[in-house]
């Protein structure tokens, strides 16, 4: 809830508190981001224990290297999501590569396709979570509740024009999950809030 | 997509930025009227509600799309039968006119189209348009693919033990300069567990009725509230710890002010002061306060060890005081018990605290039993002591409290004076209970007569202690 609307001030303070070695800050950090981190890792890896492992890695990284996050570069939430995504995709590629070497079944193209699919699915999840609530609500009605755009407009109390606009904009944002960025690009996650 | 101009920023604040600004919309070409050579051309696309100008849209204005015409199938008239129609005596009814919409309107429909959320006529018009418009076709394909990425959010419950493990791993790798005192850990953990439950429940669940139960004097009492009301209760009573630590009191500025500082009076005052029943909005202040409490104990608590340094503030519950560390154990306990109340009301599973934390809670209750016993004696609710004025610090008649299961242990409860010391040599009774059962007894959720306790020895002493345990409970 409030997590998404937190002002950048929270991010800055958190970074300072972590740098100061405040254990209570670590707990708050976990409480705010653990479900995001675990959810994304699970979307990529489809494995509970592996997702637990990534969760541990992400928080250890931030606790040991609080200065690696620079509040000026963007929200902590996006940064944490990007870090999670990177670590989870790395782990998926490593386990899949090992499996490929072991069994000899499949090709490296299959592997890359699988990694890419998992990566896109996780990014899509994040985009949906991070998009403005009105867009998410419109998509929710039209897709999950199978309302047409006129009903969606009525349900949301907006014009039909606006309902169409929200559906299109929401999907446009979601479509950016397919965009690939050069590897090694600075942590930036879907350009999202 | 980059920061400043991303649609995230533009949203909401900028009603003018309609459908533009997200890229892809190459200059909002106002769809030349004749751009479709489709049948019915001449009579399209304006109608009574047609477009009024290139961009003269106002949010409340008429829809830009002509309303879908009713097709002949919907009119109840017989369908024209081309093959059997001989030379008609009258001109044939015009064929149902396909919907002809301009490019701009069709483009705006792409999202709804991709989600199959527009009318059949509109979908047909869009699809025809896609055959002739490359930019719309590209976008349509992109949006269709995006629909494939939507799926229900899976709600995965994070195991509470993961929090402990992750935090311990972190702190092992880089020891904190400002640690959280060990005695604050149960409160920290219980608040986090409850918060995770709250995150999972739906808006409506916040108004689910909950009956708070406790034990007063001779028997059980209860008070009806809602899930949100329970969190408001925790917020106000945690506020006693917050104020002792110099933090803001959630009751500040409340009218009417509570009659006194007891947990019950504070809660009732808080409930009364809001015009509307509490909603899920109460979660954020409760959580913020609990985080602030933990944080502040780290700065005032004097290290992670268990030594009880003096000068630490005591927390006043009005009728009694507790040292800060015990008060936090008490709040951890209450947090768990009320989380159970909530979980039961909304039908979620909820586990007891970890053994380590449970042990601290049981220990606190065991240490408070002699006081509770004395209080019940004072009010004539328990049998008088056998040996008057047992010297302070002297061993006296004792009851062995054996707590089984995770977090358990053994305690010798002095029976005759709160100042007395439990003594195995003077043991007159022995009670054995499961740890969680004992906690539910001290929470007033299990009547003392029904507590599943193995007992042995002085029956009166056992009954007095079990009732004194139940009497530890409050709202």
Do residue A27 and residue B152 have CB atoms under 8 angstroms apart?
A: no
Please state the rounded mean pLDDT for residues B210-221.
90
Percent of chain B with pLDDT over 90: 56
The span from the CA of B37 to the CA of B47, in Å, is: 18
> How many structural domains are present in chain A?
2
Are residues A172 and A83 part of one domain?
no
Q: Cβ distance B186 to B357 under 8 Å?
A: yes
> Residue B65: which pLDDT band, with cuts at 50, 70 and 90?
very low
Q: Going by CATH, does the domain composed of B360-385+392-470 fall within 3.10.20.340?
A: no
Residue A29's domain comprises 8-130
The span from the CA of A71 to the CA of A78, in Å, is: 11
What pLDDT, in 10s, does the model give residues B131-157?
A: 999 999 999 999 999 999 998 776 667
Contacts of B22 in chain A (CB under 8 A): 169, 172
Are residues A106 and A53 part of one domain?
yes
Is residue A120 domain-resident? yes
Are residues A99 and A152 part of one domain?
no
Q: Which residue of A has its CA nearest to B1?
A: A191
Q: Which residue has the higher pLDDT, B462 or B258?
A: B462
Is residue A191 domain-resident? no
**Of A130, A150, A165, which closes a domain?**
A130
Are residues A144 and A101 part of one domain?
no
B387 shares contact with chain A (CB less than 8 Å): no
Domain ranges of chain B: 24-53+61-79+96-148, 180-346, 360-385+392-470
Cα first-last separation, chain A: 14
Q: What's the mean pLDDT when you consider all of chain B? A: 80
What ipTM does the predicted assembly reach?
Answer: 0.86
Are residues A49 and A78 part of one domain?
yes
CATH code: domain of residue A113 = 1.10.1740.10
Are residues A126 and A136 part of one domain?
no
Give the Cβ contact number of residue A179 at 10 Å. Answer: 11
Are residues A167 and A90 part of one domain?
no
pLDDT in the model for residue B254: 79
pLDDT in the model for residue B232: 95
The count of C-alpha atoms lying within 13 angstroms of the C-alpha of A59, restricted to the half-sphere facing its C-beta, is 31
B278 token code pair? 């509490």
- Whether A17 shows a pLDDT value over 80: the answer reads yes
Is residue A186 domain-resident? no
Are residues A126 and A145 part of one domain?
no
Lowest mean pLDDT among A4-8, A102-106, B23-27: B23-27
Do residue B12 and residue A21 have CB atoms under 8 angstroms apart?
A: no
Q: Cβ distance B401 to B413 under 8 Å?
A: yes
Smallest CA–CA distance, residue A35 to chain B, in Å, is 7
Are residues A44 and A107 part of one domain?
yes
- Whether A145 shows a pLDDT value over 50: the answer reads yes
pLDDT in the model for residue B460: 93
Are residues A121 and A169 part of one domain?
no
Are residues A165 and A73 part of one domain?
no
Q: Which residue has the higher pLDDT, B94 or B434?
A: B434
Quickly name the fold that domain B180-346 has.
Answer: 1.20.120
Q: Are strands B421-434 and B395-404 parallel, antiparallel or unpaired?
A: parallel
- Whether B165 shows a pLDDT value over 60: the answer reads yes
Is residue A96 domain-resident? yes
Q: Give me the DSSP letters along B128-151.
A: HHHTT-HHHHHHHHHHHHHHTT--
- Most A CBs within 10 A among B150, B172, B192, hence the mutation to make, goes to B150
Q: What's the mean pLDDT when you consider all of chain A? A: 89
Q: Which residue has the higher pLDDT, B154 or B260?
A: B260
- Most B CBs within 10 A among A53, A161, A166, hence the mutation to make, goes to A161
Are residues A149 and A121 part of one domain?
no
Is residue A193 domain-resident? no
* B 188-207 residues inside an 8 A Cβ radius of A: 188, 192, 195-196, 199
Q: Which residue of A has its CA nearest to B4?
A: A191
């Amino acid at each position: 809830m409030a997590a998404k609307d937190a002002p950048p001030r929270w991010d800055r303070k958190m970074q300072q508190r972590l740098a100061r070695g405040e254990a209570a800050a670590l707990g708050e950090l976990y409480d705010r981001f653990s479900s995001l981190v675990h959810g994304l890792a699970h979307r990529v890896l489809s494995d509970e224990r592996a997702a637990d492992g990534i969760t541990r890695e992400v928080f250890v990284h931030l606790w040991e290297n609080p200065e690696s996050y620079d509040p000026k570069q963007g929200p902590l939430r996006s940064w944490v999501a990007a870090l999670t995504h990177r670590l989870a995709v790395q782990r998926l590629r490593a386990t899949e590569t090992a499996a490929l070497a072991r069994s000899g079944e499949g090709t490296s193209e299959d592997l890359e396709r699988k990694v890419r699919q998992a990566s896109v699915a996780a990014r899509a999840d994040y985009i949906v979570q991070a998009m403005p609530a009105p867009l998410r609500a419109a998509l929710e009605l039209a897709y999950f509740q199978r309302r047409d755009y006129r009903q969606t407009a009525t349900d949301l109390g907006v014009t039909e024009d606006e309902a169409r606009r929200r559906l299109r904009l929401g999907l446009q944002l979601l479509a950016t999950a397919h965009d690939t960025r050069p590897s090694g690009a600075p942590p930036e996650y879907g350009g999202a809030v | 997509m980059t920061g400043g101009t991303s649609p995230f920023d533009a949203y909401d604040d900028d009603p003018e930025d309609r459908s533009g600004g997200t890229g892809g919309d190459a200059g909002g070409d106002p769809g030349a009227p004749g751009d479709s050579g489709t049948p019915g051309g001449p009579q399209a696309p304006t109608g009574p509600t047609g477009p009024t100008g290139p961009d003269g849209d106002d949010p409340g204005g008429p829809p830009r799309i002509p309303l879908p015409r009713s097709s002949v199938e919907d009119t109840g008239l017989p369908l024209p039968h081309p093959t059997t129609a001989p030379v008609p005596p009258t001109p044939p009814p015009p064929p149902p006119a396909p919907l002809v919409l301009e490019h701009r309107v069709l483009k705006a429909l792409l999202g709804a189209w991709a989600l199959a959320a527009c009318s059949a006529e509109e979908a047909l018009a869009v699809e025809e348009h896609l055959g002739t418009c490359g930019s719309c076709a590209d976008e349509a394909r992109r949006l269709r693919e995006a629909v494939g990425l939507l799926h229900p959010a899976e709600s995965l419950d994070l195991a509470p033990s993961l929090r402990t493990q992750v935090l311990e791993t972190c702190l092992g790798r880089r020891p904190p300069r400002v640690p959280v005192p060990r005695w604050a850990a149960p409160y920290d953990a219980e608040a986090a567990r409850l918060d995770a439950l709250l995150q999972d429940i739906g808006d409506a669940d916040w108004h689910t009725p909950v009956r708070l139960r406790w034990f007063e004097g001779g028997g059980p009492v209860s008070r009806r509230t809602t899930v949100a009301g329970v969190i408001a209760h925790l917020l106000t009573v945690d506020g006693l710890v917050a104020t002792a630590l110099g933090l803001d009191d959630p009751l500040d500025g409340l009218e009417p002010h509570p009659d006194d500082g007891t947990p019950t009076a504070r809660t009732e005052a808080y409930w009364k002061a809001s015009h509307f029943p509490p909603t899920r909005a109460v979660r954020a202040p409760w959580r913020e306060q609990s985080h602030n409490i933990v944080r502040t104990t780290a700065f005032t608590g004097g290290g992670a060890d268990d030594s009880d340094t003096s000068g630490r503030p005591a927390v006043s519950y009005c009728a009694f005081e507790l040292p800060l560390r015990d008060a936090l154990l008490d709040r951890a306990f209450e947090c768990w018990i009320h989380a159970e109340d909530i979980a039961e009301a909304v039908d979620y599973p909820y586990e007891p605290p970890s053994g380590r934390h449970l042990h601290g809670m049981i220990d606190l209750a065991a240490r408070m039993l002699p006081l509770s016993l004395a209080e019940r004696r004072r009010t004539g609710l328990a049998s008088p002591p056998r040996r008057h004025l047992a010297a302070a610090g002297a061993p006296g008649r004792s009851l062995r409290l054996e707590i089984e299961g995770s977090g358990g242990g053994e305690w010798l409860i002095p029976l005759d004076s709160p100042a007395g010391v439990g003594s195995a040599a003077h043991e007159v009774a022995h009670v054995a209970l499961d740890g969680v059962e004992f906690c539910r007894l001290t929470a007033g959720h299990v009547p003392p007569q029904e507590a599943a306790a193995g007992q042995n020895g002085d029956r009166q002493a056992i009954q007095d202690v079990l009732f004194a345990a139940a009497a530890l409970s409050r709202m």
